[in-house]
Amino acid sequence: MIERYDRGDYTISTDPDRLDVCAVHRYLSASYWADGFPFALVERSLRHSLSFGLYASEGQVGLARVITDETTFAYLCDVYVLPEHRGRGLGRWMIECVMGSPRLRGLRRWLLVTRNAQGLYQPMGSGPLSNPAGVMEIVRPDIYRTGEPRDRPETGSDG
């Protein structure tokens, strides 16, 4: 089921065929959280996610990507609005569409990570981890630049 929401000159759509992978890659590969994200991985991540694209007359101008089983859990990531379209409520509208999506109703847990955009998510009921000590993570901030160790050429037996 493809969702579509319209507001003035803007549209939000979950149609995967409408996503402009080049535009998404251009933004994400220069962002602070996905710096260097290779094109092929952007394409793959979109293919396996529920993505809410934001569109204006000139094309795609924003994104909110949801990694989810559509049953119990969702991780909201890669949220952006291009600079020239910010400050018009579009970011909040995207989050409202995500949270109101029929495919994402009744989930037990949502997770999102942000450096400084807490103000965008707080009205949706999000807050700091209730039990930080019980949440563990594996983080590889440089992985898009360095790749998995197995992808790198051999450097010798002691490398």
Ligand X SMILES: CC(C)(COP(=O)(O)OP(=O)(O)OC[C@H]1O[C@@H](n2cnc3c(N)ncnc32)[C@H](O)[C@@H]1OP(=O)(O)O)[C@@H](O)C(=O)NCCC(=O)NCCS
Binding site for ligand X (CB under 6 A): 79-81, 86-92, 114, 116-117, 119-120
| Residue 65 CB, nearest approach to ligand X (Å) | 11
The two structure tokens encoding residue 119: 């103000």
- 22 vs 111, beta carbon nearer ligand X: 111
Q: How far apart are CA 60 and CA 63, in angstroms?
A: 8
Q: How far apart are CA 72 and CA 20, in angstroms?
A: 29
| Residue 75 CB, nearest approach to ligand X (Å) | 12
- 18 vs 92, beta carbon nearer ligand X: 92
Closest CA to 75 of 42, 51, 47: 51
Residue nearest to ligand X (CB): 91
Q: How far apart are CA 124 and CA 23, in angstroms?
A: 27
| Residue 83 CB, nearest approach to ligand X (Å) | 7
